[in-house]
Amino acid sequence: MTAVATPVERARLGGWIGGAISTDHKRIGLNLGLCALGFFLAGGVMALWMRVQLAQPNMHWVSDQGYSELFTMHGSTMIYLFVTPMAMAMAVYLVPLQIGAPGLAGPRLALGGFWTWLSGGLIMQTGWFTSGGAGRDGWFAYTPLSDGRNTPGIGMDLWVIGVILAATGLILVAASVLATIARKRAPGMSMLRVPVFTWTELVSVLMVVGAFPVLVLAMVLLLIDRHTAGIFTGYSGAIDYQDLFWFFGHPVVYVMFFPFLGASAESIATNSHKKWFGYVPFVGSIMLFAALSMAVWSHHMFTTGGVTNQYFAFTSTALVIPAGIEYFDMIGTLIGGAIVLRTSMLFGLGFFLQFLVGGLSGIFIASPVLDYHAEDTYMIVAHFHYTLFAGSVFGFFAGAYHWFPKVTGALLREWLGKFHFVLLVIGTNMTFAPMFFLGNYGMPRRISRYPDHPGWGTLNLVESIGAGIIALAVLTFLINIVVSLRRRELAGDDPWVGQTLEWATTSPPPPQNFIGPLPPIESYAPLLDLLHKEQGRADEPEEAPVP
Amino acid sequence: MPAASWFSALALVDTRQQYYRLFDIYVPIAIGVFALIVVLALFAVLRFRRRPVEKAAVWHKNDRLEGAYALLLTLTVAFLLYLTFSAEHQVDTVANRQRAAVTIDVTAAKWEWTFFYPAYGITIRSGTSGVTPFVVPTGEPVRFNLRSVDVIHALWIYYTRYKHDAIPGSTQVFTLAFPHAGLFDGQCAEFCGLRHPDMLLAAKAVSPSAFAAWAHSHTGRSSG
């Protein structure tokens, strides 16, 4: 052993300490992902608590203030502490493997980012234990409601500080991933041979690096505003805060979307035994998607009278073009494939088809005239839960079932996985579909009680039962993990006929990721190219046989 | 006179009508697209299931077909934006050019609405203290000058399919129409703190003559 421990040797340090300070990207990715999963469970409990309160009209299960803490912390936990960091965790673990790199560029940056993010998350949650309660102004904490006069108390300060640290940590992690993709691709892997999932992570980390600093800035200003000078004062101050917040807040929506789109795409391509269809248009479309998503933020502000609605309606409606291309590519991948309906495939298809409800309702509310009615109602709640839960969380599970064997060396139980999938589809649609109708009938979001209008009690009860079914589905997933790790069914290096480089190494991969030379990289699916060569089909045309 | 009737057809902008004009086009298209993609995906999965791996196609692109499809998507975007912009022009611009039959100054505060009729000196309050409807004439433009004294609120009357934020430091102006007589519920739509769920309101639309009688008999009064 040398005097200074190399990353590889540090990864071999046993125990909790070794795991916590390891600069092995796989360890950092797992730590980040497992902590995010823990926050997912916490945020889920908050959601269940709210669904109990809303199960019937005029309930008094929680107080009005308790309810506002619940919806604030539920949203903040899910967005800042689960979906976004999970997207980054998947990047940290998988991107170096997919591009044939031995590790991250700047692994200490990612390690420091993980710890900064985690401390932010924990600080935010400590608000629960203060006498005034946790943050309670919603996940976007509009001023002047969130200023020191309208929401005094240490719990709200802890929320602001938590967001600052969590966002800063994620910027550090994203910067490391960005540098990795830029600098550490294996010889032969040009940008147009980068796998689909890594491309989706690339545009995501670009948006994190581009947009999250604005959130950090807005939150620092909010903290100052709360304690000393009035910064966001008057009408323009209120509009400025919203502009700054949503300049982060809309790109983050796509950071919470692209990686799960990529995971679903990898799982669909692999389980169809075909390359992802239309790779170059796909890459172009997600770049257009990312560019547009940096230019749509004020569609959250159509009812403020403070923004140019037509411009933001234009950019938001234009999202139809890249989104439509992704669906075209999904169908194109399925047609002509040899499809196996494994659990990861089901979740991948579930991602695309259910996200579609969120996407199409997104076109609806991109129209200001329609949004004047839908804004701040359960129509919006339904819309973004179809994108984030029925979409991203399904995409996360697609990735989880797809890559679990790579990460652990063990296969997840297929029958438990399919049970998990069926429960989650039923629970998700029972919970979120009725919200479209409730919103249209006049139910605003963020109310702890609602009057006994005809049908409202029934629809809300259906939603609450659905939330319980979602909880059972998530429990099934956790049981599946425990069972599969306790009684291991060995996965081997490549249980699925994988297409990308992570399937060309052992499961789990060794500290330096690859032993021996990498396979030749001639496209975004190098292992499938090898298979086609073995089959003697490498010369078949790339163009689909349609005019 | 045709010119006059054309003008009067323009005169009353109804936000609810504009909403459904778009709704009735957007929603069928969305349902159609959803059904089409679900059917295509299910067809492809069922048709290409359980085939030997060697049967999986090697082809994986068709840029010309995809380009044509992208053009179709672009035309769809242009069509939707044309509809949206023309409806929004009515709601946000033409409506505010109408000569209002009545003007109401609305002040939002935690957690109460105050509706003040400057022409008659009538004040109506609604919110945590209980819901007292404010009165409007049917079939005529009603102008709202919306303010807030503390945090952001949003005035939402479901019937009109329209809401607008009340942001401290500004007066937001918009014009609504109530073609039918009736009692229409509303409520604050922007989370404004502890008693946000109780910040309720209601609009009572009555015929113009009944409105005139009400305004006359309530002049200078305060209620709610």
Domain B2-97 -> CATH class: mainly alpha
pLDDT averaged over every residue in chain A: 96
What is the DSSP secondary-structure string of B82-115?
HHHHHHHIIIIIIHHHSPPSEEEEEEEETTEEEE
Query: Are the CB atoms for A514 and A102 separated by under 8 Å?
Result: yes
Query: Are the CB atoms for A517 and A18 separated by under 8 Å?
Result: no
Residue B11 has pLDDT above 90, yes or no: no
**Structure tokens that stand for B86 in this block:** 């023309």
In chain A, how many domains are there? 1
> Distance (Å) from the C-alpha of residue B216 to the closest C-alpha of chain A?
33
In a domain, A388, yes or no: yes
Nearest to A270 by CA among A198, A345, A197: A345
Residue A134 has pLDDT above 80, yes or no: yes
Instruction: Judge: B197–A448 Cβ closer than 8 Å, yes or no.
Output: yes
Structural domain for A354, as ranges: 10-534
Cβ contacts of A150 on chain B, cutoff 8 Å: 150-151, 193
> Distance (Å) from the C-alpha of residue B77 to the closest C-alpha of chain A?
6
Instruction: Judge: B56–A372 Cβ closer than 8 Å, yes or no.
Output: no
Q: What is the pLDDT of residue A15?
A: 81
Average pLDDT over residues A465-481: 98
Cβ contacts of B83 on chain A, cutoff 8 Å: 367
Continuous segment of H or E residues that includes residue B172? strand B172-176
A390 DSSP 8-state letter: I
> What's the pLDDT band for B4 if we cut at 50, 70, 90?
very low
Domain B102-223 -> CATH class: mainly beta
Least CA distance to B184: which residue of chain A? A442
Cβ contacts of B88 on chain A, cutoff 8 Å: 309-310, 313, 367-369
Q: How far apart are CA A95 and CA A150, in angstroms?
A: 44
Cβ contacts of B197 on chain A, cutoff 8 Å: 64, 447-450
Q: How far apart are CA A343 and CA A394, in angstroms?
A: 11
Q: What is the pLDDT of residue B10?
A: 54
CA dihedral defined by B35, B41, B45, B48, rounded to 10 degrees?
120
Pairing mode, strands B200-206 and B182-188: antiparallel
Cβ contacts of B167 on chain A, cutoff 8 Å: 235, 238-239, 304-306
Least CA distance to B44: which residue of chain A? A335
In which region does residue A295 sit, left (phi positive, over 0), alpha (psi from -120 to 50) or beta (all else)? alpha
- Other CB atoms within a 10 A radius of the CB of residue A503 amount to 24
Q: What is the pLDDT of residue B223?
A: 85
Q: Mind listing the pLDDT tens digit for each residue in B33-47? A: 999 999 999 999 999
Count Cβ neighbours within 10 Å for each residue of B21-59 and write b for 16 or more, e otherwise.
Answer: bbbeebeeebeebeeebeebbeebbeebeebeeeebbbb
Cβ contacts of residue B88 below 8 Å, gap of 6+? A309, A310, A313, A367, A368, A369
Whole-structure pTM value? 0.95
Share of chain A above pLDDT 90, in %: 95
Q: Mind listing the pLDDT tens digit for each residue in A205-241? A: 999 999 999 999 999 999 999 998 789 999 999 999 9
Share of chain A above pLDDT 70, in %: 97
Q: Mind listing the pLDDT tens digit for each residue in A304-316? A: 999 999 999 999 9
Query: Are the CB atoms for B178 and B138 separated by under 8 Å?
Result: yes
- Of residues A68, A309, A336, nearest to B48 (C-beta): A336
**Domain boundaries defined on chain B:** 2-97, 102-223
Q: How far apart are CA B204 and CA B215, in angstroms?
A: 13
CA angle B35, B56, A396 (to 5 degrees): 55
Query: Are the CB atoms for B155 and B112 separated by under 8 Å?
Result: no
Q: Which residues pair with B200 in a beta bridge?
A: B187
> Distance (Å) from the C-alpha of residue B118 to the closest C-alpha of chain A?
23
Residue A5 has pLDDT above 60, yes or no: no
- Of residues B26, B57, B154, nearest to A337 (C-beta): B57
- Of residues A303, A360, A444, nearest to B33 (C-beta): A360
Average pLDDT over residues A234-259: 96
Q: Mind listing the pLDDT tens digit for each residue in A326-383? A: 999 999 999 999 999 999 999 999 999 999 999 999 999 999 999 999 999 999 999 9
Q: What is the pLDDT of residue A288?
A: 96
B215 DSSP 8-state letter: H
Residue A7 has pLDDT above 60, yes or no: no
Cβ contacts of B40 on chain A, cutoff 8 Å: 331
Instruction: Judge: B163–A306 Cβ closer than 8 Å, yes or no.
Output: no
Query: Are the CB atoms for A44 and A471 separated by under 8 Å?
Result: yes
Which of the two residues, B10 and A320, has the higher pLDDT score?
A: A320
Helix (H, G, I), strand (E, B) or coil at A186: coil
Q: Mind listing the pLDDT tens digit for each residue in A141-195? A: 999 999 999 999 999 999 999 999 999 999 999 999 999 999 999 999 999 999 9
- Could you report the predicted ipTM of this complex, rounded to two decimals? 0.95
Average pLDDT over residues A270-284: 98
Residue A3 has pLDDT above 70, yes or no: no
> What's the pLDDT band for A9 if we cut at 50, 70, 90?
low
> Distance (Å) from the C-alpha of residue B220 to the closest C-alpha of chain A?
31
Average pLDDT over residues A22-45: 97
Cβ contacts of B81 on chain A, cutoff 8 Å: 313-314, 317
CATH at A136 = 1.20.210.10
Residue B5 has pLDDT above 60, yes or no: no
Instruction: Judge: B62–A543 Cβ closer than 8 Å, yes or no.
Output: yes
Q: What is the pLDDT of residue A545?
A: 87
Instruction: Judge: B62–A332 Cβ closer than 8 Å, yes or no.
Output: yes
Give the count of alpha carbons within 13 A of A343, CB side only.
Answer: 25
Nearest to B211 by CA among B222, B223, B200, B203: B203
Instruction: Judge: A138–B92 Cβ closer than 8 Å, yes or no.
Output: no
Q: Mind listing the pLDDT tens digit for each residue in A406-418? A: 999 999 999 999 9
Q: How far apart are CA B35 and CA A495, in angstroms?
A: 34
Q: What is the pLDDT of residue A10?
A: 53
Residue A4 has pLDDT above 60, yes or no: no
Q: Which residues pair with B213 in a beta bridge?
A: none
In which region does residue B175 sit, left (phi positive, over 0), alpha (psi from -120 to 50) or beta (all else)? beta
Average pLDDT over residues B171-186: 97
Domains B2-97 and B102-223 share a fold: no
> What's the pLDDT band for A12 if we cut at 50, 70, 90?
low
In a domain, A337, yes or no: yes
In a mutagenesis test of the A interface, which of B165, B170, B173 is the best target, namely the one with the most A β-carbons within 10 Å? B165
From the number of C-beta atoms within 10 Å of its C-beta (0-12, 13-18, 19+), residue A52 rates as: middle
- Of residues B44, B47, B73, nearest to A320 (C-beta): B73
Cβ contacts of B37 on chain A, cutoff 8 Å: 327, 331, 353, 356
